[in-house]
Amino acid sequence: MAAQIIDGKAVAQRLRGEIKTKVADLVAHIGVAPHLVVVLASDDPASAVYVRNKGKAAEEVGIRSTQHTLPANTEKAALLELIQKLNADPDVDGILVQLPVPKQHDTEALIRALDPAKDVDGLHPLNAGLLSRGDESGLIPCTPKGCIKLIESAGVDLAGKHAVVLGRSRLVGRPVADLLLNRNATVTTCHSRTKDLAQEVGRADVLIAAIGKEELVKGSWVKFGATVIDVGINRNPAGKLTGDVAFPGAAERAAAITPVPGGVGPMTIACLLENTLIAATRRRVMR
């Protein structure tokens, strides 16, 4: 029996529709639209495309979007100064520093410099710390948040399920494990030192692959009836985008699976918009 394909584009579109309605309600209440500022300090073409897509998506739901583009050779002090300026600007609700940044910058210092209330990527230690304590009142990282929404869209109740997370990055692996624990899943996190990865994957009722290696997970590893969320985006020598999971074989065994592209990616942007709305509402209405 073929797996249910979890359509990230469709789920994201529904979420964006809900956000658009809530943004309109907020504007009617306070007279001003939420304002997202994206900082790009890189000459990486892919980053430029991501930033442009985020800005376009924001405008489509009624969120104001401003982009600050800095040369790749911008000094650390100048970038930190810009962040502090945006922190202090009452007109700015959300700040996103597009990662990765050039090597002369200290990524951790940039993240720590953000006002946690405007940190729509959810990476500031305060937001991360709240989540690690089981408290989701902070801003939650966008991709992990999107993963959970996709699992829920497939009708999966995580309570009591054995979830296996491949990867332990602060962008995806660690926060998604926290979100799974908060929903009463039993969670195993695998990484580069894990022994017998195939065996660990084979035990997963829910598998989230976020390790960044093309088709590392073979279809034969996947448990029959599992839900598979593939976060990986890799470009093979032929130029085709592939995930961390070998899709054809996995789709023969899984009950539900996300495609690449068209799975997690659209949800990441939708959750960024949701975080911007949340940040704006808290700053302008709930304070």
Average pLDDT over residues 180-196: 97
The predicted pLDDT at position 238 comes to 86
Find residue 162's DSSP bridge partners. Answer: 186
CA pair distance 249, 227, nearest whole angstrom = 14
What pLDDT sits at residue 135?
A: 98
In the three-class reduction of DSSP (H, G, I as helix; E, B as strand; rest coil), residue 229 is classed as strand
Mean pLDDT rounded to a whole number for the chain: 96
Instruction: List, as one string, the DSSP characters of 35-55.
Output: EEEEEE----HHHHHHHHHHH
Q: Which helix (H) or strand (E) holds 10?
A: helix 8-30
Distance, CA of 142 to CA of 45 (rounded, Å):
22
Query: Which residue in 93, 98, 145, 149 is the catalytic one?
Result: 98
Q: Are 222 and 202 in contact (CB under 8 A)?
A: yes
pLDDT at 177: 98
**Alpha carbons 112 and 116: distance in angstroms, whole number:** 8
* Domains defined for the chain, CATH in brackets: 32-117 (3.40.50.10860), 142-264 (3.40.50.720)
Q: How many CB atoms lie within 10 A of CB 262?
A: 16
φ and ψ at residue 66, rounded to 5 degrees: -125, 140
Quick check: 251 and 257 in contact, CB under 8 A?
yes
Point out which residues pair with 47 in neighbouring strands: none
pLDDT digits (tens, 9 = 90+) for 201-257: 999 999 999 999 999 999 999 999 999 999 999 988 888 899 999 999 999 999 999
Whose tokens are 């690690």? That residue is 132
Q: Give the pLDDT confidence score for residue 112 in this predicted structure.
A: 97
pLDDT digits (tens, 9 = 90+) for 70-115: 999 999 999 999 999 999 999 999 999 999 998 889 999 999 999 9
Contact 36, 120 (CB under 8 A): yes
Q: Which residues of 149-169 are buried (b: 16+ CB within 10 A; e: fewer)?
A: bbbebbebebeebbbbbbbbb
Residue range 274-287: mean pLDDT, rounded:
92
**Catalytic: which of 115, 119, 121, 178?**
121
Active site residue 240: no
Q: Is 273 left (phi over 0), alpha (psi -120 to 50) or beta?
A: alpha
State residue 277's pLDDT score. 98
Query: Residues 6 or more apart from 160 whose CB is under 8 A from it?
Result: 184, 185, 186
- Given this model, what pLDDT does residue 142 score? 98
Measuring CA to CA, which residue among 245, 252, 215 is closest to residue 229?
245
pLDDT at position 121 is: 97
Tell me if residue 199 is catalytic: no
pLDDT for 44:
85
Question: CA-to-CA distance for 213 and 233, rounded, in angstroms?
Answer: 8
Give the model's confidence band at 46: pLDDT under 50 very low, under 70 low, under 90 confident, else very high.
confident
Q: Mark whether 13 is an active-site residue.
A: no
DSSP string, 150-180: HHHHTT---TT-EEEEE---TTTHHHHHHHH
Cα distance between residue 118 and residue 83, in whole Å: 11
% the chain with pLDDT above 90: 91
* Active-site residue, selected from the candidate residues 54, 118, 145, 149: 54
> In terms of C-beta density within 10 A (0-12 exposed, 13-18 middle, 19 or more buried), how is residue 249 classed?
middle
CA 27-32-35 angle, to 5 degrees, is 105
- Which pLDDT belongs to residue 237? 86
- 1 pLDDT band, cuts 50/70/90, is low
The predicted-structure confidence for 189-198, as pLDDT tens digits, reads as follows: 999 999 999 9
